[in-house]
Amino acid sequence: MTNKTCLIYCNCGAGIISDEKKAGLSEAFKPLGVDIYELHDLCAFSLNEKDFLHKLDKDYDKTLIAACYPRAIKNMFEQNGVQLSNYEVFNFRETGTDKITAEIAAKIEEKQENNVYEIKKTDLKVPAWYPIIEKSRCTLCGQCARFCVFGVYSYNKKNMEVVNPLSCKNNCPACGRTCPASAIIFPRLPENSALSGAEPTGDKKTSGNDQKGNLFVMLNERNNARRNIFKQGSFQQAEEEKKKALEELKNSFKNPKGDA
């Protein structure tokens, strides 16, 4: 029995790769011999068009995804309730066109006849910019929720959630820069860092839900991480980004465009 495979290609509108590379990837993928769905873009679809992704999961045995960091995509799907039972992510941020095409081709067991190439655009009217929480790293310190002034998060000592993702201001990753555990991800951020989804350096933080024993160790680790943020100047950068976002919001009230 043929293992039917499709490819999701995220045509990201956030500028994390060049238009030239995006066009090159599109042409390189077409001869792969599988159904290809070019999504504009995956962040928006995982939030606003989940039904389309769920239909792909029913129609295909395996879904290959050409997008950004696998860590970002995995946690984005989990946060948004996207259910894909068998998928693999290939990172076009740090992988060249020829290499990523070869990696994807190696995962295709058999080419399909009469395969399609469909371009799908979201109905979302604003940029799909919002934070992703990696729950396994989150220590439930609440720093991001306290720093955010746009009502994106809901927080108590037992739970942290992104409840108003589209209240986040486009291109403002400020709250994530204050996170001592590198648990906040902005997939559309055009920098190669843990904040945009790369694997964080150093030891993995333990989830706040799993820390049953040594409270002193947890608090000490959290305080050390916070001190490192100040040393690295991240908090100052976050303040500047938040100030800019607030100014843009203020200007949008004076000159409404509907995309602030």
For the chain (260 residues), the mean pLDDT of every run of 10, in chain order, is 84 94 97 97 96 96 97 98 96 97 96 93 93 96 93 93 95 93 96 95 52 49 53 65 68 58
- pLDDT for 37: 98
Residue with tokens 């066009």: 23
- Give the global pTM: 0.81
User: Which CATH number describes the domain made up of 5-121?
Assistant: 3.40.50
In the chain, which residues fall in CATH 3.40.50? 5-121
- pLDDT for 208: 46
Tell me: cis bond preceding 41? Omega within 30 of 0 counts. yes
Length of the chain in residues, anyone?
260
- pLDDT for 226: 54
- pLDDT for 206: 44
Is residue 7 within 8 Å of 36, Cβ to Cβ? yes
- pLDDT for 2: 55
Is residue 10 within 8 Å of 121, Cβ to Cβ? no
